[in-house]
């Protein structure tokens, strides 16, 4: 008897586990079916005339160009979500990853950049775009300068004009933001709401203590080129301050001033300025003026607070406003303790572009988001006033730069816009490649290992970089 009971139990358990396995696999399939309003798909196929009434309802939105019910947006952080929430009329927050515009649900697919994760996920979504159900299709995705080229020259990014936006509407945008998004046939594939000229952002209190002044013009004289930068670093060191939070901080300044791109055809090439970054940084690190912390870690961002004892960061407007903990009590930014100056060399960092995705069923909404967020002067001015971002609209920015009323609270009341405007005019992105994000990460990893004494020479570190880069991008050689 006992045996019988046991065997029944066992077979029940077995059946249950098999069914459980099926359940998981079957669920998404069922979801996809119901999404297309064809929950009874097999029946519909068999009885074509009877199902006719329902089938067109499912197909209609795509065919007639009516708006889909879900707007899917792929991004790598919360920045665009915050911008849309604060500045797009009619955007309502539902929960952490969902919002609503009218009766369209906004679905945020946010994946961090770290270790290529964002691009990996975006690639998978884009490659599956054609076969995805209507409401699962991606409608809008964001790219940044380091890998924009990878997506611009593909059919996955929809031409801006195909969404019903005329090129004339983009005339106030900075030319470089359009150049980078123009594919090899001269078609504009995306637009941006921000410009990203960078500046040197330093702590006023430390400047006063070490150099006796916190005036941007005076500080600029002390950091006007790399030689002076190094001299001043020693003075900061003498008083117990780090010049930068990490060697990675100056990376963009060197990298943007290269004379040739990272990759020529399929050959990796190292520009002299990139080598100079490694050598200067090692020297700075050996003298105890900086650290080798990774960017975005706690060891790096400790300098956002007075106890971090970090003199300066290098970054564009979005770093100052979005990243430097301005909302946290006790941070330097919260107390308006920063100031901005040009620093040793001009540079840019990042920038986010909005691309409409080919196959979107929300074309009108995508176009409207592009118009409102990147072309509407009122919205853009609002972004500057509320968030101190540098927006991609020349008249708005130049107007504010000469506006005596405008000042940045984080920068202690300074109006740094003139500096940013001058920087934006000089930005040249012609040396970017589609491989930059992966390559610069691998290069920095290898060089930091060298600075920490784990490689005997720059050449050893360079070999390690080549190894990592060629595994990441099998088509590259050196």
Partner 1 sequence: MKKQSKVARVNRWGYIFLIPFFLTYVIFQVIPLCSTIYNSLFENFRSGLKQIGPNFVGFANFAKLLGTIDFWNYFENTLLMWVGGFIPQILVSLLLAYWFSDPSLRLKFQQFFKTVIYMPNLIMASAFAMLFFALFADQGPVNSILVSMGILKQPFKFFASVTASRVLIMFMNFLMWFGNTTILLLAGMLGIDQELYEAAEVDGATSSQVFFRITLPILRPILLYVLVTSLIGGMQMYDVPQILTNGKGTPANSTLTVIMYLNQHLTSKNLGMGGALSVVMFAVTGVLSIVIFNLNKRKD
Contact mark string toward partner 1, 290..329, x via CB under 8 A: -xxxx--xxx--x---------------------------
Under 8 Å CB-to-CB from 244, ≥6 apart: which residues? Answer: 250, 284, 289, 290, 310, 311, 312, 313, 314
With CB under 8 A as the contact rule, the residue among 208, 239, 426, 467 that binds partner 1 is 467
Work out whether 82 is an interface residue with partner 1 (CB under 8 A): no
Under 8 Å CB-to-CB from 34, ≥6 apart: which residues? Answer: none
Contact mark string toward partner 1, 124..163, x via CB under 8 A: --xx----------------------xx--x-x-------
**Minimum distance between the CB of residue 137 and partner 1, rounded to whole angstroms?**
16
With CB under 8 A as the contact rule, the residue among 411, 434, 447, 462 that binds partner 1 is 434
Nearer to partner 1 by Cβ, of 305 and 311: the residue is 305
CA distance 391 to 200: 19
Work out whether 97 is an interface residue with partner 1 (CB under 8 A): no
Vertex 345, ends 339 and 347: CA angle to 5°? 80
| Residues 334 and 344 sit within 8 Å (Cβ to Cβ) | no
**Minimum distance between the CB of residue 120 and partner 1, rounded to whole angstroms?**
7
Nearer to partner 1 by Cβ, of 156 and 420: the residue is 156
Under 8 Å CB-to-CB from 227, ≥6 apart: which residues? Answer: none
Nearer to partner 1 by Cβ, of 301 and 393: the residue is 301
Nearer to partner 1 by Cβ, of 14 and 385: the residue is 14
Q: What distances in angstroms separate CA 269 from CA 183, 373, 476, one per listed residue?
A: 23, 37, 10
- Cross-strand partners of 347: 198
Work out whether 116 is an interface residue with partner 1 (CB under 8 A): yes
Nearer to partner 1 by Cβ, of 28 and 453: the residue is 453
**Minimum distance between the CB of residue 116 and partner 1, rounded to whole angstroms?**
5
Work out whether 449 is an interface residue with partner 1 (CB under 8 A): yes
Residues binding partner 1: what is the number (CB under 8 A)?
A: 42
Work out whether 40 is an interface residue with partner 1 (CB under 8 A): no
Nearer to partner 1 by Cβ, of 309 and 394: the residue is 309
Vertex 82, ends 159 and 62: CA angle to 5°? 40
DSSP-assigned letters across all residues of 258-275: -SS-SEETTEE---HHHH
Nearest one of 424, 383, 419 to 197, comparing CA atoms:
424
**Minimum distance between the CB of residue 269 and partner 1, rounded to whole angstroms?**
18
**Minimum distance between the CB of residue 10 and partner 1, rounded to whole angstroms?**
7
Work out whether 445 is an interface residue with partner 1 (CB under 8 A): yes
Work out whether 287 is an interface residue with partner 1 (CB under 8 A): no
Using CB under 8 A as the binding rule, the residues of this chain from 400 to 429 that contact partner 1 are: none
Work out whether 371 is an interface residue with partner 1 (CB under 8 A): no
CA distance 162 to 356: 10
**Minimum distance between the CB of residue 242 and partner 1, rounded to whole angstroms?**
12
| Residues 381 and 396 sit within 8 Å (Cβ to Cβ) | yes
**Minimum distance between the CB of residue 365 and partner 1, rounded to whole angstroms?**
25
Work out whether 12 is an interface residue with partner 1 (CB under 8 A): no
| Residues 4 and 12 sit within 8 Å (Cβ to Cβ) | no
CA distance 128 to 204: 51
**What would you report as the CA-atom Rg of the chain, rounded to the nearest whole angstrom?**
26
With CB under 8 A as the contact rule, the residue among 31, 452, 459, 477 that binds partner 1 is 452
Work out whether 464 is an interface residue with partner 1 (CB under 8 A): yes
Nearer to partner 1 by Cβ, of 147 and 390: the residue is 147
CA distance 152 to 154: 6
Vertex 176, ends 172 and 180: CA angle to 5°? 120
| Residues 192 and 177 sit within 8 Å (Cβ to Cβ) | yes
Helix %, strand %, coil % for the chain, to 5?
A: 50, 15, 35
**Minimum distance between the CB of residue 259 and partner 1, rounded to whole angstroms?**
25
The conformation of residue 113, written as its DSSP 8-state character, comes to -
Judged by the rule CB under 8 A, the positions of this chain that interact with partner 1 are 7, 10-11, 14, 17-18, 114-116, 120, 123, 126-127, 150-151, 154, 156, 291-294, 297-299, 302, 434, 438, 445, 448-449, 452-455, 464, 467-468, 471-475
């Amino acid at each position: 008897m006992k045996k019988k009971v046991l065997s029944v139990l066992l077979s029940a358990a077995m059946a249950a586990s098999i069914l459980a396995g099926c359940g998981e696999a079957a669920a998404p399939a069922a979801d996809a079916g119901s999404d297309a309003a064809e929950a009874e798909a097999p029946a519909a196929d068999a009885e074509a005339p009877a199902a006719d009434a329902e089938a067109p309802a499912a197909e209609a939105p795509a065919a007639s160009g009516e708006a889909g019910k879900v707007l899917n947006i792929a991004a790598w952080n919360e920045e665009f979500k915050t911008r849309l929430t604060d500045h797009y009329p009619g955007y309502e927050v539902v929960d952490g990853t969902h919002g609503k515009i009218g009766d369209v649900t906004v679905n945020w697919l946010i994946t961090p950049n770290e270790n290529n994760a964002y691009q990996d996920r975006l690639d998978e979504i884009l490659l599956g775009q054609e076969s995805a159900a209507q409401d699962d299709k991606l409608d809008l995705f964001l790219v940044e300068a380091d890998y924009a080229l990878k997506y611009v020259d593909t059919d996955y990014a929809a031409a801006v004009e195909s969404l019903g936006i005329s090129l004339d509407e983009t005339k106030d945008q900075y030319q470089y933001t359009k150049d980078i998004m123009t594919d090899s046939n001269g078609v504009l594939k995306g637009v941006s709401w921000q410009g990203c000229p960078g500046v040197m952002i330093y702590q006023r209190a430390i400047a006063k203590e070490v150099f006796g002044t916190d005036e941007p013009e005076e500080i600029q004289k002390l950091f006007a080129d790399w030689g002076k930068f190094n001299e001043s670093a020693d003075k900061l060191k003498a008083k117990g301050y780090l010049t930068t939070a990490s060697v990675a901080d100056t990376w963009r300044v060197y990298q943007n001033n290269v004379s040739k791109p990272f990759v020529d055809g399929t050959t990796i090439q190292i520009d002299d300025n990139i080598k100079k970054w490694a050598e200067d940084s090692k020297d700075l690190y050996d003298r105890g003026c900086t650290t080798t912390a990774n960017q975005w870690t706690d060891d790096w961002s400790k300098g956002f607070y007075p106890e971090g004892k970090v003199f300066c960061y290098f970054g564009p407007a979005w770093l100052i406003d979005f990243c430097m903990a301005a909302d946290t009590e006790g941070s330097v930014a919260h107390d308006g303790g920063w100031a901005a100056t040009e620093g040793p060399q001009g540079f840019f960092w990042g920038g986010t572009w909005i691309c409409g995705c080919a196959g979107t069923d929300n074309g009108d909404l995508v176009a409207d988001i592009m118009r409102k967020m990147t072309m509407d002067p009122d919205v853009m001015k609002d972004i500057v006033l509320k968030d101190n971002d540098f927006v991609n609209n020349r008249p708005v920015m130049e107007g504010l730069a000469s506006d005596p009323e405008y000042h940045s609270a984080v920068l202690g009341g300074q109006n740094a816009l003139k500096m940013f405007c001058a920087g934006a005019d000089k930005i040249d992105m012609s040396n970017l490649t589609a491989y930059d994000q992966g390559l610069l990460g691998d290069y920095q990893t290898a060089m930091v290992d060298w600075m920490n004494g784990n490689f005997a020479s720059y050449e050893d570190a360079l070999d390690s970089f080549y190894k990592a880069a060629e595994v990441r991008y099998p088509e590259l050689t050196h």
